[in-house]
Amino acid sequence: MNKVKLSFLILGLVVFLSGCSSTPYMQFSQNAIYLNDADNTNVIELKNPRKIDRYDSCVFNGFTIDDASKHIEYIKLHSWCQWNGLSSSFYQNFLNLNIKKLQLIKSFVKDKYNIFLYAKNGKEFYFVHTYDVTSDLFIIDYDGSFVTKICKECYLIDKSLRFDEKIDKSLVERNFIEGYFSRESSNDYYEK
């Protein structure tokens, strides 16, 4: 084998192996979620979290986590399933179905984070959506403790203005009724 071919083979192997060893975008532990960006890691700290696994035929891995100041939903679909629209919009509609008379106050986009400040009757909370290639993470940040780490314009929510209705439902469990995601049709693979 000549030196040029050997050099390309070694270079290809190095690129392949470095891609396999990269840190995943989202990592989960008992009391924290780590969101690894190119330059830094953002940490969502959890206190006494309660995790519930969520199941659907399209969901490879799904769960909700609740603690005193956060509600988090993670959804990773199987490769043969797809969202039937924009996942962030679906979650915002889901919020509006579960919390009547919500008002969107302001929205921000910071890197891979879509941040929305909502209010109802003068009480506020943040909704955050972030994603990677295969999964979505939806965060309700009741006190703003995570959002203020990633958004300079955002603020901690005063305890007297903090939204106190908790979300106890899941997008995954509502999928059967609402049709947020489904199996890809075999017709999607063939042109007519």
Condensed to tens digits (0 to 9), the pLDDT of residues 116-141 reads 999 999 999 999 999 988 899 999 99
Q: Contact at 8 Å (CB) between 41 and 35? A: yes
Residue 22 lies in a domain: no
Residue 177 lies in a domain: yes
Confidence of residue 192 (pLDDT cuts 50, 70, 90): very low
Residue 141 lies in a domain: yes
Residue 9 lies in a domain: no
* Structure confidence at residue 135 (pLDDT): 93
Number of structural domains found in the chain: 1
Residue 33 lies in a domain: no
Residue 137 lies in a domain: yes
Per-residue b/e over 62-83, b at no fewer than 16 CB within 10 Å? bbbbbbebbbbbbbebbeebeb
Domain of residue 184: give its range. Answer: 47-189
DSSP state of 27: E
Q: CA–CA separation, 90 vs 101, rounded Å?
A: 17
Q: What pLDDT, in 10s, does the model give residues 96-110?
A: 988 889 999 999 999
Residue 1 pLDDT greater than 70, yes or no: no
Residue 94 lies in a domain: yes
